[in-house]
Structures are given as structure tokens and as C-alpha cells.
Amino acid sequence: MSLRPIVHADAEAGGRAVAERVFDLAAEAIRARGAFAIAVSGGRSPETMFRAFASRRAAAAEGEPWTVLWCDERVVPPDDPRSNFGLARRLWLAPARVPAERIIPVPTELPAEQAADRYDGLLRERFAPGASSPRPRQAFDVAVLGLGPDGHTASLFPGRPSLAVVGRWSVAERSPTQEPRVPRVTLTLEGIGHVRHAIFLAWGAEKRPVLSSLFSDDGTTGARDLPAGRVRAQESVEWHVDRSAWPTGPSA
């Protein structure tokens, strides 16, 4: 893990700063390619960012060429409080009236394996190079990822076979090693690797130990094997943390 994180005063400031970063990347993508696609995560870390998206309304509001997808999803109904789609809908998509045709949720009405297969096909059709789809291929611009205390990201957990899956953009994970222990669908490392910019969010003292492992100067190999440490992207991987998670170093 080479780059040092960007340190924000707290989660609120960090979430707002990441939202501004996303708006900049979206403007760049729309100028260059006329569209912008972002994959978001669940959990608590993205909440302020979602609220900032909603308050700016421009983010994927009617007519803005944003496509929204997920880095991972719990295979539960959208109204279930554990749903990552439900979280984004409540804090952002509904208040900002993002049109349904710009949203690619994981089809959680299906069992996990079938949902992962269907989602994989949707992603390939929309984003894979050389797709046969009549629709123009769209770039997959940003993935906003969280970090679990065990080093997981999306629903890629340490030691799980899903980490080694190649040739797929998304896969089912039936045995998450962290709560909520419900079947998941997750982007694979290969799937995340198609993104231009990966943006990690890590707020709070509970993330301090895993961050110090991921960024340890002694390069302990174990840490580098953590799922979050294995994420690569086409152009950049950046980390946004707050002072509770990263007590040393200057604030952003």
C-alpha cells in the first residue's frame, strides 16, 4: 500500500469532501465521454456522501447522465434495513429523484447465485470492452468502497474463495464473515479493477488497526493480502480517512 490517506477532521467533513471529489470526476467524465457511472457501497461510511449528493440534486438528478450501481449488496428485499440499495434510495436516490433507468440494482429478488449471474451480465453488457450490446459501451468511472475492521471491502472477505474468482465481474458470497451474515452479491477484485478511480472511505477509531496494517511501512505481507489492500483500478486508488481512524498526519 503505497499512497498515504487523505485525512479529514471527521466523518462528516470526509463525506462531504468525497462527494466533491466525485462531482469533479463526474464533470470530467461527462465532458470527456458524455456519461458517468459510479458503484457505491453500503454500511455507515457513505451516509454523509449520499446526503451531500442529495443536497446538490445535480448528482444524477433528472437529466444528469449518471448511472448508479453497487459494489456489493445483501440479498434481502429493498425495504429491508440491511439493503445497500435501500440505504442509497433513502438518503440520495429518492430525495434527488434519480430516474430508475439510471439505476442498476443487484436483482435481489433472485437467489444469490442467480442474482450474481444476472448482475454480472448487466455489468458486462453496459461496461465490458467489446460488448455486443447495441447500447454504446459506457465507462465505469468510480467505485466508492468501505473498509471493514477485518480488511474486507465490498463483500470480499479475507480467506474466502470469492477473492480468487477471475473471469467474472460479480459473484455470490454465501458466507460473509462479518454482520450482516446474509447472502451477498459482490464485485470481484477483477470487476472492481475495471473502474477508473477507486475511492476508499474509512472513518472512526475502529478502523485504526486495519489501516495501520494496510499502510504499515514494514510492508508486512499479511496486510497486503487483505482484500482492501488488493484493490487495483485503471487510474487511481485513493483513501479518505478521518483523524479518529488515522491520528497522525495533517488534516486535509
Minimum CB separation of residue 186 from ligand 6PG in Å reads 8
- Taking the complex as a whole, the smallest distance from the CB of residue 17 to ligand 6PG amounts, in Å, to 16
User: Total residues contacting ligand 6PG (rule CB under 6 A)?
Assistant: 15
**E strands along 9-158, which residues?**
36-40, 66-70, 72-74, 142-145
Compute the least distance from the CB of residue 223 to ligand 6PG, in Å.
17
We find the least distance from the C-beta atom of residue 200 to ligand 6PG, in angstroms, to be: 9
Residue 154 engages ligand 6PG in binding (rule: CB under 6 A): yes
What are the residues whose beta carbons fall under 8 Å from the beta carbon of 252, sequence distance 6 or more? 6, 7, 8, 9, 13, 14, 17, 240
Please state, in angstroms and rounded to a whole number, the distance separating the CA atoms of residues 195 and 243: 28
Rounded to whole angstroms, how far apart are CA atoms 121 and 14? 34
C-alpha cell at 132: 455486443
For residue 92, give every residue at least 6 positions away whose Cβ sits within 8 Å of its Cβ, in sequence order, or none.
50, 51, 53, 54, 59, 98
Residue 173 contacts ligand 6PG per CB under 6 A = no
Burial annotation 36-47 (CB, 10 A radius, 16+ → b, else e): bbbbbbbeebbb
Instruction: Return the number of the residue (83 or 138) whose C-beta is nearest ligand 6PG.
Output: 83
Q: Are 83 and 76 in contact (CB under 8 A)?
A: yes
Least distance in Å: CB of 106 to ligand 6PG?
11
- For residue 107, state whether it binds ligand 6PG (rule: CB under 6 A): no
84 scored as a contact of ligand 6PG (CB under 6 A): yes
> Which residues from 19-78 bind ligand 6PG, rule CB under 6 A?
41-45, 71-72
Which residue, 65 or 107, is less far from ligand 6PG as judged by CB? Answer: 107
Q: Is residue 153 part of the contact set for ligand 6PG (CB under 6 A)? A: yes
Grid cell digits, residue 30: 461527462
Sites of contact with ligand 6PG (CB under 6 A): 41-45, 71-72, 84, 146-148, 152-155
